[in-house]
Chain A
Amino acid sequence: NAGVTQTPKFQVLKTGQSMTLQCAQDMNHEYMSWYRQDPGMGLRLIHYSVGAGITDQGEVPNGYNVSRSTTEDFPLRLLSAAPSQTSVYFCASTETWGKRETQYFGPGTRLLVL
Chain B
Amino acid sequence: KNEVEQSPQNLTAQEGEFITINCSYSVGISALHWLQQHPGGGIVSLFMLSSGKKKHGRLIATINIQEKHSSLHITASHPRDSAVYICAVAQYGNKLVFGAGTILRVKS
Closest Cβ of chain B to A79, distance in Å, is 23
Q: Mark A94-114, 1 if CB is under 8 A from B, else 0.
A: 101001111111011000000
Chain B 40-98 interface residues, beta-carbon cutoff 8 Å to A: 41-45, 48, 50, 86, 88, 90, 93-98
A88 within 8 A of B: yes
**Residues from chain A with Cβ under 8 Å of B94 in the complex:** 31, 33, 48, 50, 94, 96, 101
Which one, B33, B86, B98, contacts A44 given CB within 8 A?
B98
* B45 in contact with A41 (CB, 8 Å): no
Q: Using CB atoms, name the residue of chain B closest to A30.
A: B94
Q: Using CB atoms, name the residue of chain B closest to A102.
A: B45
Which one, B48, B95, B97, contacts A100 given CB within 8 A?
B48
A74 within 8 A of B: no
**Residues from chain A with Cβ under 8 Å of B90 in the complex:** 101
Q: What is the predominant secondary structure among interface residues of chain A facing chain B?
A: strand
In the assembled complex, the Cα of A33 lies from the Cα of B42 at a distance in Å of 16
In the assembled complex, the Cα of A31 lies from the Cα of B50 at a distance in Å of 20
In the assembled complex, the Cα of A43 lies from the Cα of B45 at a distance in Å of 14
**Residues from chain A with Cβ under 8 Å of B31 in the complex:** 101
A53 within 8 A of B: no
B104 within 8 A of A: no
In the assembled complex, the Cα of A1 lies from the Cα of B95 at a distance in Å of 24
**Residues from chain A with Cβ under 8 Å of B101 in the complex:** 42
Chain A 50-105 interface residues, beta-carbon cutoff 8 Å to B: 50, 58, 88, 90, 92, 94, 96, 99-105
* A58 in contact with B95 (CB, 8 Å): yes
Which one, A33, A96, A101, A105, contacts B43 given CB within 8 A?
A105
Q: Using CB atoms, name the residue of chain B closest to A110.
A: B41
**Residues from chain B with Cβ under 8 Å of A41 in the complex:** 100
A45 within 8 A of B: yes
B4 within 8 A of A: yes
